[in-house]
Amino acid sequence: MHFDLPDDHRLLQQTVRDFATQEVAPVAEALDHEKRFPYEIVAKMGELGWMGIPFPEEVGGAGGTTLQYALAVEELTRVDSSVAITMCAHTSLGTQPIYLFGSQEQKDALLPDLCSGAKLGAFGLTEPEAGSDAGNVRTRAALEDGEWVVNGAKQFITNAGTDISGHVAITARTGEGEISNIVVENGTPGYEQGTPYRKMGWNASDTRPLTFADCRVPEDNLLGPRGQGFKQFLHILDIGRIGVAAMGVGLAQGALDEALAYAKERRAFGQPISKFQAIQGKLADMATEIEAARLLTYKAAFLKDEGRNFTLTAAQAKLKTGRLAVRCAEEAVQIHGGYGYIEEYPVCRFYRDAKILTIGEGTDEVQQMVIARALGA
């Protein structure tokens, strides 16, 4: 058993860490406050090849591994979750369905722009009645004269409404008891992106509802075989959980970084508060839990890269890291005292950003169901 990262993985990790510190950190507070999408940062990440890390070079990707992708997501989230989720949702939810299930024509048409970051991809699963109950899809798609006529609505969709959004792959009922995935490109008549949500966190990411009213797309926009949509999106969610788990690790680590730095600087009763046992206990527990969660997340990525079943490990990692991110962000705020409640301090933003990690990509309760089922319960 070997725990050291390969040289190319360490290099990417350090490069992303430097980028996050130098390019993202100085503007993160302003992006959050202004609820402004980070177009310039996304463009730079695209130029660096990070918007297509785990995809082969022959389709326009960087030819990297899932573990490298997780490392990049972790380092970005260590500084800012909005930037991280933009890349994470684009890669796991926007690009993976095309790469895994698309026809050769779909891959040729969409993957180069997706992998370069010229276009952002989105995945439309969630509806008012289809969130945790993912199979209860109400959106309909009827085949008429060689076109799918789509009617319905999606909610909480990431990356669908920016100036560089390219497509959304949606789940729809294409027949009785039949769910399929269909690609709908931005600009298609009948497809409308709603007003962005006012959110607790992730304020610089794009999240909004979508509506489809007699939206017509070519029959060839079907993603994979008809009726395979349910199986497809379950696999996509498994992959997505690795990215979200990496976000949980990154946010928890960022919270620890800020808490430790502040504890060394802040003085009380004649010494830095880092010298007090109560503070040391918090920092020690955070560091220990983060390392355990990191190893679990890396294992899930490793299993996927090895072509082995990773459903259980990805669910465990997502469950563990989401809860840990919330707890570490709360402890970091507590260590900062009153300053932790002030927006100028990153831990305040981290605290707001953390909670969604226990909800998105499957709630904690759904992860427990997935884990229990994998155990045979």
Active site residues: 361
Least Cα distance to 248 among 345, 324, 342 occurs for: 324
E strands along the chain, which residues?
Answer: 120-124, 140-144, 147-158, 165-175, 178-185, 191-193, 207-218, 222-223, 267-268, 271-272
Cα-based distances in Å from 33 to 54, 205, 349:
32, 12, 10
d(CA 25, CA 188): 36
Contact between 139 and 373 under an 8 Å Cβ cutoff? The reply is no
317 three-state secondary structure? helix
Cα 316 to chain center, whole Å? 16
- 206 neighbors 160 (Cβ within 8 angstroms): yes
What span, in angstroms and rounded, lies between the C-alpha atoms of 363 and 359?
4
Spatial contact of 247 and 74, defined as CB atoms under 8 Å apart: yes
Contacts with 85 (C-beta within 8 Å, 6 or more apart), sequence order: 158, 202, 205, 247
C-alpha 42/C-alpha 121 separation (Å) is 13
Main-chain dihedrals φ then ψ at residue 167, nearest 5 degrees: -155, 165
**Is 59:107 a contact under the CB 8 Å cutoff?**
yes
Pairing of strands 165-175, 178-185: antiparallel
